[in-house]
Amino acid sequence: MKTYKIPNIKEILKPRWKHEPGFGMNKQFTLHKRESFQQSTAPEDKLLLKKLGIRKGGKVLAIAGYYASWASEIAKLGARVDYSDISSSLVKWSRDKYGKLFGKYILSGYELIPNKEKEYDWTFTFEACGGGSGLPIAYLRSLLNRKGGILVYHQRYGKARVKMGSKPKNYPLIVKTMAKVYGAEYKTKKIRVRAHRFEKPIKMITHNVFIIKTNEQARKLARQDIKALFTNKFNIESLERLNKFSEAIADDYLKEIRR
């Protein structure tokens, strides 16, 4: 009999706080001393799609969209973007502000979308939390897309680096582990994006990009493992893959199965 450590979906989906607009800025999890209606950087770069590897007209699912600073710029430059966030307040705020810019406004945890194969070209996120819990599940779902998934954060230095949390470790771990387990490809790169931070002037800011590229076999295996996780019905092949995939998930969000 062998013991497998796999993602504990019940624990991963457990709500941990009340999601409100700006909670990361001005509530008990304060990161900054002022409120802001943007993400930590807001791009204004005509070459952003090229730098990210997204084609004009490409279909993008933006997860953990927050105030849509990045999702809106990607959409304005010609990608077809659906916005999503787990916060009903943020989804309403974004719908009121951006209207028809986005194809859909989706109120959902990122672990649950997309549901269909090849509905999107890319899943995209900018600095989403949950890198050791739910985010790997979201990017397992990105293997269902036509192309894959893109994770981005902006590079901090010195004392400001602490604000990145575990992202410098978790983002590359997610794409490298998925590539190894599912036979996908991954790429990491640094890009310079014309952007601003809060009220500061626009300048070129370094961002880290982590890309996972899917294929037919990766899509098939991901579909099998997502179904197994959400129905709690596993065959040995899924258990073997999910046991390896769990290297990208923190121990608190794993469970053991013996077969």
User: How high is the pLDDT of residue 30?
Assistant: 43
Domain assignment of residue 157, yes or no: yes
Query: In which domain, by residue range, is 212 found?
Result: 37-229
Is residue 43 domain-resident?
yes
Take residue 105 and report the two structure tokens written for it.
């406004």
Two structure tokens written together for 37: 């209606």
pLDDT for 160 equals: 77
Tell me whether residue 91 is in a domain.
yes
Q: How many helices (H) and strands (E) does the chain have?
A: 9, 10
CA distance 127 to 218: 25
Task: Please say whether the dihedral angle defined by the alpha carbons of residues 8, 10, 11 and 16, taken in this order, is positive or negative.
Answer: positive
Helix, strand, coil shares of the chain, percent, nearest 5, are 40, 25, 40
Phi/psi of residue 198, each to 5°? 55, -130
**Residue 202: inside a domain:** yes
Q: Coil, strand, or helix at residue 60?
A: strand
Residue 259 located in a structural domain: no
CA distance linking residue 151 with residue 209, whole number of Å: 6
Tell me whether residue 73 is in a domain. Answer: yes
Which residue, among 47, 16, 45, has the nearest Cα to 29 in the 3D structure? 16
Q: Which residue has the tokens 């019905």?
A: 233
Name the burial class of residue 154, with classes exposed (0-12), middle (13-18) and buried (19+) by CB atoms within 10 angstroms of its CB.
buried
pLDDT for the residue numbered 35: 57
The predicted pLDDT at position 21 comes to 57
Q: Is 158 left (phi over 0), alpha (psi -120 to 50) or beta?
A: left
Residues 6+ away with beta carbon under 8 Å from 222: 140, 141, 143, 144, 182, 214
Please give the pLDDT value at position 156. 86
3-class DSSP state for residue 28?
coil
Domain of residue 45, CATH code: 3.40.50.150
Is 143 inside any structural domain?
Answer: yes
Residue found under tokens 């800011």: 205
The predicted model scores a pTM of 0.93
Look at the chain and report how many structural domains it folds into.
1
pLDDT in tens, the chain (259 residues): 899 999 999 999 998 765 565 554 444 444 444 456 789 999 999 999 999 999 999 999 999 999 999 999 999 999 999 999 998 888 998 999 999 999 999 999 999 999 999 999 999 999 999 999 999 999 999 999 999 999 999 988 887 788 788 999 999 999 999 999 999 999 999 999 999 987 789 999 999 999 999 999 999 999 999 999 999 999 999 999 999 999 999 999 999 999 9
Give CA–CA dist 41/21, Å, rounded: 17
Q: CA-CA distance, 254 to 8, in Å (whole number)?
A: 5
- What residue ranges in 92-146 does DSSP mark as E strands? 105-107, 122-126
